[in-house]
Structure 1
Amino acid sequence: MKKIIISTFAISALLFTTSCEDDFDTDVSEVVVTKGEADFTRYVSLGNSLTSGYRDGALYRDGQNESYPSMIAAQMKLVGGGDFKQPMMPDNYGGLLLNVGGSTNVQIASTKLYIDSFINGSPDLKNANGGVATTVTNTVLTGPFNNLGVPGAKVSHLLAPGYGNVSGVIPKTANPYFVRFASSPTTSIIADFKAQNPTFFSLWIGNNDALLYALAGADGSAETLTPPAQFAQYYNLLINEIASTNAKGVIANIPSVTSIPSLTTIPTNPLTAAVLGNGNVAIGEATIDNLNTNIYGPLNQILTALGAGDRIKPLSKTASNPLLIKDESLTPLNTQITAAALASGNTQLIALAAYLGATYGQARQAKPGDLVPLTTKAAIGTLETVPAGVPASLGARGVAYPFADKYVLIPSEITEINTAIDAYNVTIKAAAAAKGYAFVDANKKMNELGSQSGISWDGVKYTAKFVSGGAFSLDGVHLTGRGYAIIANEFIKSINATYKSTLPQVNPNNYSGVTFP
């Protein structure tokens, strides 16, 4: 046994008491570090990108070295834990290439993001190495690997044979990240887990069952939301497979999508006459005058007459203006708008009558309660194809042309997603209780990060604010090294409380955050 100075968090866990969850306590006691009732000899982690150490939009070496399971494993090693092997990327660019035969490689994942500069208060993000990936996906690494976190994986994927078969990458029946280190083309993640005969495990899976759908603006044609009943079926199958190893372990639940900066950073009203900083998009006074005269003004009059005047109002030259979006929950007014345009006597509206009805029948301006993904910002003002005879400027997405479903989450979609996540979390907590596993309320911790007060560690404050908050990386979804350390401590606290161990926590301030130019 080894003596080490640890924080009073660990003491609290040992004594089964609770203390402030978001403030660092100065080290004041010397405690013997023990494994308690657990055996950390062979620790294997299961999960998705959050487990792998993915950050800044890519998987790369420095991020992997600061994965939360590797941090936990280092603490376990103090009490007999073994080595923790990860399927390392070859460089710090990230990104993936797929060999499709002969000498032909196809890039299927981009390189990591970095801040090139700040423009009007917002970071100008670019991809490392000019966006060119150097890792050939189907160069299989030699395992076994203790970190089985696979970016993009859903719960069902951990059970799927052939999920690491390179021939399934293009048809999307396999995962290029698992292709890199699967023990065989026919194996599954859970099979590679069981083959290691683990003595302890961690499981954080299920985020992608809701998050991918959320990031796609709840566009079901792009991504799907796993039905709660199906989630429960797959999750319980997975837990039963894990339980067959007799390993002890810890599992975590799923954060709400409203707690991550990828969905809370871009305002619903970024359109301005001139740049005002904070990432606003300047569309110019001339554009505002043109839109008010030819679209916003006439549409407001028509919609007001139809009892829906709050959907679209004229733009302001002095205040920030909302994005224009399509809201599929609204009653379609296509025919009514077309008829009103034809009856207006306005030759321009008459010429555009059919286009107006088809385009603005379910259009409205965005408002508080909507969520705009980070990726949507780059699409603001890009041109949609418009019919012949319609001015091209009317195809400016989010400005004159309503953003499609994939660009914005509306309240009903947010409710749909969070209702599903709540159901997922009921399943996860019940599974932990039924098997006696330690349980981490990751949802609660992420909500703390999302609060105004955030989380403090030894005088350093962490929040979910994009770039400046310190906890989230440049993709707004995945954590920084410091953010992963915060999560690692939640796992460690739960392990200590459940198995009477006294693993010391890690110091988040010792890990990397966002790199500024």
Structure 2
Amino acid sequence: MKNTKYILVLSALIGFTSCNEIEDVNRDEAAEVLPELTSGSADFTTYVSLGASFTAGYTDGALFMAGQNNSFPNILANQFAGVGGGDFTQPLTNDNFGGLAAGGTRIAEPRLVFGGSTPVPLESVVGPVTVSTDIVLNNPTGPFSNLGVPGAKSFHLLSDSYGSLAGVGSYANPYFVRMASSPSATMLGDAMAQSPTFFTLSEMGANDVLSFAVSGGSGVDQKENLDPSTYGSNDITDPNVFASVFSNLVTTLTSGGAKGVVTNVPYITDLPHFTTVPYNPIPLDAGTASFLNSVAAYGTYNGGLQQAYAALQGSGLFTAEEVAKRTIKFVEGQNAVVIIDEDLTDLGAINSAFAEIPKYRQATADDLLVLSSSSFIGTEAIPGNAQSINGVAVPLADQWVLTPEEQLAIKEATDAYNVTIKAVSDANDNIALVDLNTILSELATTGILYGDYTLNASLVTGGAVSLDGIHLTARGYSYMAYKFLEAIDTSFGANFIDSGNVPNPGDYPTNYAPTLQ
């Protein structure tokens, strides 16, 4: 087979962020007199943040000190300090490499960096590093104001085994092991033990669908350089379970009179992790396309489809539309990858004579390929065999693709979660709501003007989403903090925005240098 080394999905992405030049201005010429900062009815004396990766400051596929210091809760705490906010403590990692170890054995990889055209592992640029954050040897001592745990699903906040070292690798989370007050502590319990006067509860529901999404809806672990969102089952959390858990969380957190801000769940399929890799990344010459269409390749498969249709015609069980959908045809020029689609008709279940016909089809623009597929498509399933190219001669397994049916399942769950979140927040005067769903939608479409910068959701160049395609950049987290302050002003009568007590987006980078240690 010729021309089979063909995919460099991200090679056209250059630069780091879509930013506008900041104009030099003489700020002394027309200094605006701003009102004095007030907190309204909110009490920021003891602020505790509960959540998952975004809350922790996870970015570029890892948790590391610089990212934690630029987490949105830490940015908020800096603003709260101006109106009586107390100390804000975080379970800082030991370095800026990222990654985790357990007794000297690496269990999570260091961060991603920009490699000139694509995101690449840190060690491919700087060489081997020693991951010094070890959950067996050097856990920090709490209590911690930031209880953001990468990978946490909604119900994990109530689990009394989530911080058990013995359960790491199955039911426990190493990031919570680092910060839990005891092996049987719960995230919610450790928050309430601090008697919070103010809290944020963010991203609840996101990981409840994200683990399903990053595995391509297959249940196969695709954690490569992502947060450990696949600990435990990859199934989408039942909306009824979510509703019970979320209501419990808010009721408990506000039981002592504390006020707080919650967020709804964005449509995660708008993130660049699912939108960057095209469905048709395969350029072929005429000769290679002809070979793939021949009996020696997919010609036999296509012929089997026609035989099955002829035998089942009139039964309504195998339609001409599905035959067309499943027929594989390559052409000179750009071509779609071949995928396995479990939602296609099982022809063997209808007639055993067709049991050997697999569920293959070529991808369409309605399919979403996960970001990690970019380094898999075009590789050889059998090393040294040029006729075993993944995505061409060897169809992509379900783990690499989100089909329309799987995307619909994610959307339906997200919508159900958001109905619950809105109902709970509307019913409680102590709760403000930040609409992350609309924010991500705007980032993915029109972009958002933030200070002197225009942020969008493009990988590498957009400025809002980090190199893993899911989590935010420091500047993205600062915008998130800004929206929290805006919600606090609206719901509780504070005036962070009007008084100018907001993060300066120019203080927060869109990327971290490989040399950061």
What secondary structure is seen at the aligned counterpart in 2 of 1:32? coil
Cα shift readout 1:41-96 (whole Å, capped 9, x = no counterpart):
11110000110000000000110111001111111111111111111111100100
Contact 1:228–1:420 at 8 Å: present in 2 too? yes
What secondary structure is seen at the aligned counterpart in 1 of 2:90? coil
Whose RCO is larger (CA < 8 A, sep 6+)?
2
> Quick one: which of 341, 345, 370 aligns to 1:331?
345
For 1:477 and 1:485, locate their aligned partners in 2 and report how far apart those are by CA, in whole Å.
16
Measured on the aligned residues, the alpha-carbon RMSD in Å equals 2.5
For 2:350 and 2:300, locate their aligned partners in 1 and report how far apart those are by CA, in whole Å.
14
The aligned counterpart of 1:484 is 477
For 1:131 and 1:470, locate their aligned partners in 2 and report how far apart those are by CA, in whole Å.
27
Contact 1:148–1:189 at 8 Å: present in 2 too? yes
How far off is 1:475 after superposition? 0.3
The aligned counterpart of 1:277 is none
Partner AA of 2:236 in structure 1: L
Contact 1:334–1:361 at 8 Å: present in 2 too? no
Cα shift readout 1:334-369 (whole Å, capped 9, x = no counterpart):
5999968xxxxxxxxxxxxxxxx64x5211000011
The aligned counterpart of 2:58 is 54
What secondary structure is seen at the aligned counterpart in 2 of 1:130? coil
For 1:445 and 1:32, locate their aligned partners in 2 and report how far apart those are by CA, in whole Å.
29
Query: Once the two structures are aligned, what percentage of the paired residues are identical?
Result: 41
> Quick one: which of 201, 204, 209 aligns to 1:203?
201
**Bigger shift: residues 69-78 or 235-244:** 235-244
Distance 1:140 1:245, change over 3 A: farther
TM-score using structure 1 length: 0.82
Contact 1:255–1:446 at 8 Å: present in 2 too? yes
Give 5+ residue unaligned stretches, structure 1. Answer: 1-23, 100-104, 274-283, 341-356
Distance 1:154 1:286, change over 3 A: same
Distance 1:162 1:303, change over 3 A: closer
Contact 2:270–2:441 at 8 Å: present in 1 too? yes
For 1:233 and 1:394, locate their aligned partners in 2 and report how far apart those are by CA, in whole Å.
52
Q: Does 1:313 align with 2:308?
A: no
Q: Does 1:269 align with 2:280?
A: yes
What secondary structure is seen at the aligned counterpart in 1 of 2:179? coil
How far off is 1:403 after superposition? 1.4
What secondary structure is seen at the aligned counterpart in 2 of 1:249? strand
Contact 1:110–1:131 at 8 Å: present in 2 too? no
Distance 1:141 1:516, change over 3 A: closer
> Quick one: which of 448, 452, 459 aligns to 1:455?
448
Contact 1:110–1:127 at 8 Å: present in 2 too? no
Contact 1:466–1:472 at 8 Å: present in 2 too? yes
Count of aligned residue pairs for this structure pair: 450
The aligned counterpart of 1:441 is 435
Q: Does 1:362 align with 2:359?
A: yes
For 1:512 and 1:270, locate their aligned partners in 2 and report how far apart those are by CA, in whole Å.
31
> Quick one: which of 421, 424, 432 aligns to 1:428?
421
How far off is 1:203 after superposition? 0.4
What secondary structure is seen at the aligned counterpart in 1 of 2:488? helix
Partner AA of 1:186 in structure 2: S
What secondary structure is seen at the aligned counterpart in 1 of 2:391? coil
**Bigger shift: residues 505-514 or 86-95:** 505-514
For 1:491 and 1:40, locate their aligned partners in 2 and report how far apart those are by CA, in whole Å.
14
For 1:224 and 1:199, locate their aligned partners in 2 and report how far apart those are by CA, in whole Å.
35
The aligned counterpart of 1:133 is 131
Partner AA of 1:328 in structure 2: E
Q: Does 1:42 align with 2:59?
A: no
What secondary structure is seen at the aligned counterpart in 1 of 2:128? helix
For 1:130 and 1:304, locate their aligned partners in 2 and report how far apart those are by CA, in whole Å.
54
The aligned counterpart of 1:21 is none
For 1:126 and 1:31, locate their aligned partners in 2 and report how far apart those are by CA, in whole Å.
47
The aligned counterpart of 2:368 is 371
> Quick one: which of 248, 262, 275 aligns to 2:259?
248
Contact 2:110–2:121 at 8 Å: present in 1 too? no
Partner AA of 2:152 in structure 1: A
How far off is 1:394 after superposition? 5.6
For 2:493 and 2:119, locate their aligned partners in 1 and report how far apart those are by CA, in whole Å.
47
For 2:512 and 2:352, locate their aligned partners in 1 and report how far apart those are by CA, in whole Å.
52
The aligned counterpart of 1:10 is none
For 2:55 and 2:476, locate their aligned partners in 1 and report how far apart those are by CA, in whole Å.
12
Distance 1:95 1:411, change over 3 A: same
Give 5+ residue unaligned stretches, structure 2. Answer: 1-21, 222-233, 310-319
The aligned counterpart of 2:292 is 291
How far off is 1:156 after superposition? 0.9
For 1:492 and 1:195, locate their aligned partners in 2 and report how far apart those are by CA, in whole Å.
25
**Bigger shift: residues 192-201 or 396-405:** 396-405
Contact 1:194–1:245 at 8 Å: present in 2 too? no
Partner AA of 1:309 in structure 2: A
Residues 118-197 of structure 1 aligned to structure 2 (within 5 Å): 118=117, 123-128=118-123, 130=128, 133-138=131-136, 139-170=138-169, 172-197=170-195
